[in-house]
Copies of this chain bind each other. A is one copy, B any other.
Amino acid sequence: MPDTESKLINLYEHPGHLLRRAQQISVSIFYDEMGEELTPVQYAMLRNLESHAGIDQVSLSAISGIDTSTGATVCARLEEKGLLTRTVIPTNRRQRSLTITGAGEQLLSDLIPGSQRLRRRLLAPLSSTEQLQFMALLTKLVRENNEQSRAPLTDGVPAPREVS
């Protein structure tokens, strides 16, 4: 009998604990391959900004799966580093339009090889078949539990709320 539902002696049979460990490892490899210029979350937001020029902070946070409070501080740091600019939108002075700078785009393109190595290293313990399985299962788990966290993903391109 596989000990999936029975005794909970070993904490490492708990999916939550394993996920925490996997994330730690992922972050660690990230810094190894991508350097110290960006944190994983900063990278994710900048990468998402690249394909959604002029988006506002709330929408960018949403597609990045990050709570808006956190998203604001992340954007502030990216602005400090000169990787994006924030400008108040005249037609809706609540929103700030975000634009990636040249330095930001340069950095992203410099980081492409690292991001590929990161992915390969993280999945290296699995065979190619297992890699596909794992990604499919993880995607399914995230997608269907999506609404659980404070920062549920707005799927795909989330109707950029007519910034213009």
Q: How many chain copies?
A: 2
Q: Decide if A148 is an interface residue (CB 8 Å cutoff).
A: yes
4 A-B pairs closest in CB distance: A125-B144, A16-B26, A28-B149, A134-B137
CB nearest to A122 among chain B residues: B15
Interface residues of A in 1-36 (CB under 8 A from B): 2, 4, 8-9, 11-30, 32
Write the residues of chain A forming the contact surface with B, with a CB cutoff of 8 angstroms: 2, 4, 8-9, 11-30, 32, 40-41, 44, 47-48, 51, 64-65, 112, 115-116, 118-119, 121-126, 130-135, 137-146, 148-151, 153
A139, closest chain B residue (CB):
B18
Look across to chain B and name the residue whose beta carbon is closest to the beta carbon of A34.
B16
